[in-house]
């Protein structure tokens, strides 16, 4: 369950406008989190409630093993409304490049599980269509007045052609570009990794998510989708465990209406992709930049903790390359053991747009003393939104992020849950740290 603080929430930040507190063991450029109060805009809180966009922050699929032994990620989309809905699924590389997208037609009260092994290895897409029989309590498949067209919804492809499937696997494993240039759209790793978005849309359009018209002409604004995911690791030679959690539920604010309806949000989830003359047109809630997360590492139970982290990219909306999202910087990562001893990274940690990293990694501050447990403070702001020129976002702001905690033990137990956001995406920019010496827009 996600837990969120209410009005006057306690927010941890680094180098706040309030006087920071330094600990003698921390480098001069890093301050300890200092608790202050700040107004919390309730409409920006991310909760597990019906939404217009769902985010799977990270997935992993072993493309080299048979399905019974392969690491896999499965997620489910649920339509909580009586009328039919169309969901656009986009699979992004770990550099934040859209590798493939497809539509899912949901009848009233429908649910659709999707195995990413089936999609990436077998090329099998969900077999959904606007001609599907409906349940006794569902409205007719043409009963949603906000669906502007059912054209192409009666013949949604259920398989990926082999040539396209090979290109998809290459993008998700070695980061090969689908175009003729030499840039990379993802990093190289044995398993296919990345993240997934699921958007409520008004048609079975195939327009690219890199096309600004997708956000201004295709998205819908009804909060009717829910969902969850499961990571499965069935290979007994490396551990036999699984973990799952709700997807990140991102609501449209305000709900309903059409593209001309204004939103009070200061910026939105798809800010970087929306048309320059119509920013905030997607009306999706922004995600926060700072989090707190427990960890446990070592001991007789062979405990260890991974963090799966989603990052908003800083690359501009370019259709051919996303390599500048390969090493997105952070503002601060601080480890506290259970005796409150802090350890900070010697340098700023860097992550791609989607990653899974063990707390033993050199990216994280080292353990300090015999303690096996404690917590991490993350300020994952990438600082791209504060430069005077070259700001990829619509406004001066912190970048968006999400953190999921994955704890494992004895090579056979696993659990996933969301880290605790320390603010929401609408927090004032003064509550976000700046990099010492960086040019900050006033």
Q: Which of 32, 27, 34, 7 is nearest to 431 (CA)?
A: 34
| pLDDT tier, 350 (very low <50, low <70, confident <90, very high otherwise) | confident
Q: Judge whether residue 399 has pLDDT over 70.
A: yes
Give residue 3's pLDDT.
35
| pLDDT tier, 180 (very low <50, low <70, confident <90, very high otherwise) | low
| pLDDT tier, 387 (very low <50, low <70, confident <90, very high otherwise) | confident
Q: For tokens 């989090």, what's the residue?
A: 291
Look at 30-34, 253-257, 273-277 and tell me which has the smallest mean pLDDT.
Answer: 30-34
Q: Which of 49, 2, 89 is nearest to 224 (CA)?
A: 49
Token pair of 329 as six digits? 């910087």
Q: For tokens 């999202």, what's the residue?
A: 325
Give residue 428's pLDDT.
56
Q: What is the pTM of this model?
A: 0.87
Q: Judge whether residue 295 has pLDDT over 60.
A: yes
Give residue 315's pLDDT.
74
Query: Measured at the alpha carbon of residue 60, what is the angle toward residues 54 and 61, in degrees to the nearest 5?
Result: 120
Q: Is 114 helix (H, G, I), strand (E, B) or coil?
A: strand
Which is more confidently placed, 350 or 179? 350
Average pLDDT over all residues of the chain = 85
Read off the pLDDT of each residue in 113-132 and give the average, rounded to a whole number: 97
Q: What is the dihedral of CA 142, 147, 149, 151, to 10 degrees?
A: -70
Q: Judge whether residue 406 has pLDDT over 80.
A: yes
DSSP 130-199: TT----TTSPPTT--TT----TTGGG---B--HHHHHHHHHHHHT---SSSSS--SS---SSEEEEEEEE
Give residue 316's pLDDT.
64
Q: Judge whether residue 277 has pLDDT over 90.
A: no
Percentage of the chain beyond pLDDT 90 is 63
Read off the pLDDT of each residue in 174-192 and give the average, rounded to a whole number: 84
Give the list of residues 6+ apart from residue 277 with CB closer than 8 angstroms, or none.
Answer: none
Alpha helices by DSSP H, listed for 47-106, are: none
Read off the pLDDT of each residue in 86-100 and give the average, rounded to a whole number: 96
How far, in whole angstroms, is CA 430 from its chain's centroid? 24
Q: Is the peptide bond before 254 cis (omega within 30 degrees of 0)?
A: yes
């Amino acid at each position: 369950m996600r837990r969120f603080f209410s009005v006057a929430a306690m927010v941890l930040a680094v180098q706040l406008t309030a006087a920071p507190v330094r600990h003698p063991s921390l480098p001069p450029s890093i301050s300890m989190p200092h608790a202050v109060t700040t107004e919390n805009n309730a409409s920006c809180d991310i909760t597990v409630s019906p939404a217009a966009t769902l985010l799977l922050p990270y997935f992993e699929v072993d493309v080299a093993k048979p399905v019974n032994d392969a690491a896999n990620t499965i997620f489910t989309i649920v339509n909580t409304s009586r009328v039919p809905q169309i969901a656009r699924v986009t699979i992004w590389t770990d550099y934040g490049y859209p590798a493939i997208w497809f539509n899912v037609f949901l009848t009233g009260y429908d649910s659709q599980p999707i195995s990413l092994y089936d999609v990436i290895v077998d090329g099998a897409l969900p077999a959904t269509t606007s001609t599907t029989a409906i349940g006794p309590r569902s409205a007719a498949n043409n009963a949603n007045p906000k669906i502007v067209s059912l054209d192409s919804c009666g013949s949604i492809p259920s398989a990926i052609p082999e040539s396209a499937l090979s290109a998809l696997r290459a993008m998700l494993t070695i980061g090969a570009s689908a175009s003729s240039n030499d840039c990379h759209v993802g990093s190289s790793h044995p398993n296919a990794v990345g993240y997934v978005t699921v958007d409520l849309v008004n048609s079975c359009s195939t327009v690219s998510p890199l096309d600004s018209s997708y956000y201004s002409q295709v998205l819908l604004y009804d909060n009717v989708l829910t969902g969850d995911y499961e990571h499965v690791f069935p290979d007994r030679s490396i551990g036999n465990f699984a973990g799952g959690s709700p997807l990140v539920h991102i609501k449209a604010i305000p709900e309903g209406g059409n593209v001309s309806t204004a939103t009070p949000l200061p910026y939105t989830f798809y800010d970087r992709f929306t048309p320059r003359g119509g920013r905030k047109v997607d009306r999706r809630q922004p995600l926060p930049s700072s989090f707190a997360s427990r960890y446990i590492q070592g001991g007789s139970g062979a405990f260890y903790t991974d963090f799966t982290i989603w990052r908003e990219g800083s690359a501009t909306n370019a259709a051919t390359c996303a390599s500048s999202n390969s090493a997105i910087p952070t503002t601060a990562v601080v480890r506290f053991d259970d005796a409150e001893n802090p350890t900070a990274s010697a340098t700023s940690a860097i992550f791609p747009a989607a990653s899974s990293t063990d707390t033993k990694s050199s990216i994280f501050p080292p353990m300090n003393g015999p303690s096996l447990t404690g917590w991490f403070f993350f300020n994952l702001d990438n600082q791209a939104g504060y430069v005077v020129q070259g700001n990829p976002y619509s406004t001066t702001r912190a970048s968006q992020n999400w953190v999921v905690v994955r704890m494992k033990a004895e090579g056979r137990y696993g659990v996933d849950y969301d880290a605790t956001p320390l603010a929401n995406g609408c927090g004032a920019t003064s509550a976000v740290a700046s990099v010492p010496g960086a040019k900050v827009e006033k």
